[in-house]
Structure 1
Amino acid sequence: MFPRPKYIDKLNKLRDKQIIKVLTGVRRSGKSTILKLYQEQLLKAGVKQEQIQVLNFEDLGLATITDYLKLYQYIDQRLIPDKMNYIFLDEIQDIPHFEKAIDSLFIKQNVDLYVTGSNAFMLSGELATLLAGRYIEIPVYPFSFKEFLASVPELSHQEAFNRYLERGGFPFATELEDENTYLSYIQGIINTVLVKDILARMQRGNTTLLEHIAAFLTDTNGNLITPTKVANVLSNNGVKATSATVMAYIKKLVDSYLFYRCDRYDIAGKKYLQINNKYYMVDPSLRRALLGQKRPNMGNRLEGIIYLELIRRGYEVYVGNLGKKEVDFVAIRDGIREYYQVSLTVQNEKTYQREIAPFLEIKDNYPKILLTEDPGSYDDNGISQVNVIDWLLK
């Protein structure tokens, strides 16, 4: 289990506070491992084993817990009086009305609750209504490049980055050297998400259509798309679909944290735009699993890594719209904006001028950053050019 101090630090700051800690993220991103690391830390800090209850609802040993009342009774009977009890509920979203059990446990003064889930469904509807203001969401992602680098100390920064671009950062996958085993593992994650987190929740799910939409989003990673455009392309390829159906399936893929939607932001008008979005994969490994050996757009692949890193760092991230020009990312945190352009290389002067052209039309003084794979770091008229590996390791 690789240490993930960023997440452990967050949990430490929230320990024993009367708020439910909800870890969300795509399957196999490391949520359960983070909780195991945290449980080990609790034991080292003097918490007794009997004060800790761990329930993983993918464990068939818990198959008899079929509703919220049985869940509550199971936990309540095992609580230690007059001591703080640490309750960890892993992949709880399939227990009907689980939020009622959580709410009843929450009001106890000697219960500290930790919950994980692999679908945004668990943070909607009843849960959002019943537990409003009582939980804090902690998004968990596959390894960042910085975390990935720590897992492969034998590689140089450039070698590690090349591998990360190809293999991504699902924690367990970093240990799989055999190529076929690695691909099988990643495909298993995708299939589990498609079947268990999406199709199982739909009355009339179409597996083939869902797979084609997932592949399309992967292939167009970083391109502006609309459901109508997706439906037309699929129909031309012999896969019939309406824009409404495509929109519903894309939402399911986003809710399962397999893809992230990036909306547009009008920089001049300072307003959010709802038409046309970009979608980014949660991890670079999805590309090979869904598209095989198809030649990638390297610039778009790099763009996807930057998008996820900005999200990890706590930014709201948008595509910047500036008339006919586009800024790859407008990143907003604590009311401060930063502008990003991403390019493989700008050693050619024409390419450099093309990439900075949108920056030159922005009239405010917020940071403007050009990320490339070129070596070195430069500052020209307030535009910072930074090597992408150096930036990722900040």
Structure 2
Amino acid sequence: MLKQEAQLYQRWVYLNKLIAFQDTEPVKIITGIRRCGKSSLLKLMIKHLLEQGITHEQIIFVNFESMQFSNMSVRELYEYVKARLPQDKKAYLFFDEIQRIEQWQDAINSFRVDFACDIYVTGSNAYLLSGEYATYLAGRSVEIKMLPLSFAEFIEFQGYSIKEKKDITGVIRKKIYDNEGDLADAQELLALYMRFGGMPGLADINLNIDNALVLLDGVYSTVVVRDILERELRKEQRQITDSTLLRRLIMFLADNIGNSTSVTSISNMLVNQKLLENNTKKNKPAVQTLQTYISALLEAYVFYEIKRFDIKGKDYLRTLSKYYIVDIGLRNYLLGFRDVDTGHIIENIVYFELLRKGYDVAIGKIDNKEIDFIAVNAERKIYIQVTESMNDPATREREFAPLRKVKDNYEKIIIANEVLNTATQDGIRIVKLIDFLLAE
């Protein structure tokens, strides 16, 4: 018996991006960590095409996770697609996890050149967009970077709805309602999001620790094995073969999200714990080994690195980056579901929400102060501080101080989970975390 298709939940932010590039020449490349919803996005796009009158015979879908295609060569892929192309109609080609086919870019480039087709591919590793790919398809592709669920998506996946309502002061705010139309507890839902994260598979299970552990263990195991360890073997680069050391590094980075760190400091810690050998005589110091591991984690979209920017010097600094984990549920799975370090958890969530909203993000440095984020897009530049609470006077002053040092006229805000007074002060606006996460 064939597997029944699971329910498709809408991901409008990403689907609308695909639709915007429908029937254009660029190859649509969807990237992101495994299990974040890339396969479902392809199916949503296919559903959209069928609703627009495209026929089933015009659509060719190949999932390279299936045993049917697992050992296919690039030549066999080309012949497989060629034999199924519709006559006198445009074809729509969908390739899921295409990086599992060696020299895949040869086939994609040939499809683009030889046939009237619209091409969509997904991949779970950043090297998909490097090397020979850049040579073959430079300027002829568009990348759509997919992340796990935002808080707003998490709410909708759990069966709630978001509606705009005026409060007693006449200000329009977004409120959350359950499927019976009753007002939901937004803070309670946010607490669930901060605990379990935003992997789409959570929508299909009851939200408890046991179920979440099973789901998140599957995500972790798949990423580590298929996108890091096996990936290195396929490329004949055996630098990453110690899964225990890799897990120790992952746990260190997960435990230190939002902390300024360097590869050297991480290396020293692991060397002290005898998890790395500092063999400088062979010109292979622990720092180089560790950089290989970290690069693999970044390529697999498990962690994201953020650089520091000197606001006065107007240049990026080479030291002390920060790392954020792609899904806070994965962090809790690795470290245990402990209710500590809420400030850094909120910071992690805000960072990825800024990415979802289309900002380029850096850490700000001004004199001896640090600003959590500088967020820039084509239209806006925002200086942002993030904190758990703004109710303590000492905390308020600590968060205001770095922003006061910035003398330009760009927007400055403080995002806080708990805040009694949201009045603007010294041109600095205070925003509740929930309002920020639910904003368009």
Q: Does structure 1 residue 384 correspond to structure 2 residue 429? A: yes
- Return the TM-score normalized by structure 2: 0.87
* Residue 261 of structure 1, aligned match among 286, 297, 305: 305
Q: Deviations over 1:309-340 (max 9, x none)?
A: 00111111111111210000011111642100
Separation of aligned partners in 1, 2:269 and 2:334: 17
Separation of aligned partners in 2, 1:386 and 1:160: 18
Q: Does structure 1 residue 138 correspond to structure 2 residue 138? A: no
Cα distance change, pair 87–136 in 1 and its aligned pair in 2 (3 A): same
Coordinate RMSD, CA, aligned = 1.4
Letter matched to residue 388 of structure 1: L
Matches within 5 A, 1:192-211: 192-202=222-232, 203-204=238-239, 205-211=241-247
The residue that corresponds to 2:190 in the other structure is: 161
Separation of aligned partners in 1, 2:434 and 2:115: 46
Q: Deviations over 1:122-175 (max 9, x none)?
A: 100000111100100000110000111112224521111000000000001233
Corresponding residue SS for 1:75: helix
Moved more, 227-236 or 158-167: 227-236
Letter matched to residue 379 of structure 1: T
Aligned partners of 1:378 and 1:386 also within 8 Å: no
Moved more, 68-77 or 373-382: 373-382
Shift of 1:28: 0.4
Shift of 1:109: 5.2
Matches within 5 A, 1:223-302: 223-241=259-277, 242-294=286-338, 296-302=340-346
Letter matched to residue 365 of structure 2: N
Matches within 5 A, 1:1-394: 1-65=8-72, 67-108=73-114, 110-152=116-158, 153=160, 154=178, 155-177=184-206, 178-202=208-232, 203-204=238-239, 205-241=241-277, 242-294=286-338, 296-334=340-378, 336-375=380-419, 377-394=422-439
Separation of aligned partners in 1, 2:48 and 2:231: 36
Separation of aligned partners in 1, 2:379 and 2:105: 33
Shift of 1:380: 1.3
Shift of 1:270: 1.1
Shift of 1:224: 0.7
Separation of aligned partners in 1, 2:437 and 2:384: 13
- Return the TM-score normalized by structure 1: 0.97
Shift of 1:201: 2.6
Corresponding residue SS for 1:8: helix
Corresponding residue SS for 2:389: coil
Corresponding residue SS for 1:373: strand
Separation of aligned partners in 2, 1:88 and 1:192: 22
Shift of 1:275: 1.4
Corresponding residue SS for 2:108: helix
Structure 1 stretches (4+) deviating beyond 2 angstroms?
Answer: 235-238, 293-296, 374-378
Separation of aligned partners in 2, 1:53 and 1:15: 15
Shift of 1:189: 0.7
Instruction: Name the count of aligned residue pairs.
Output: 393
Separation of aligned partners in 2, 1:62 and 1:226: 41
Q: Which runs of 5+ in 1 are unaligned?
A: none
Q: Which runs of 5+ in 2 are unaligned?
A: 1-7, 161-177, 179-183, 233-237, 278-285
Corresponding residue SS for 1:334: coil
Separation of aligned partners in 2, 1:321 and 1:130: 39
Corresponding residue SS for 2:84: coil
Aligned partners of 1:82 and 1:110 also within 8 Å: no
Corresponding residue SS for 1:169: coil
**Identity over the aligned pairs, expressed in percent?**
39
Q: Deviations over 1:158-199 (max 9, x none)?
A: 111000000000001233215323201101111111111111
Shift of 1:243: 1.4
Separation of aligned partners in 2, 1:214 and 1:27: 16
Letter matched to residue 111 of structure 2: L
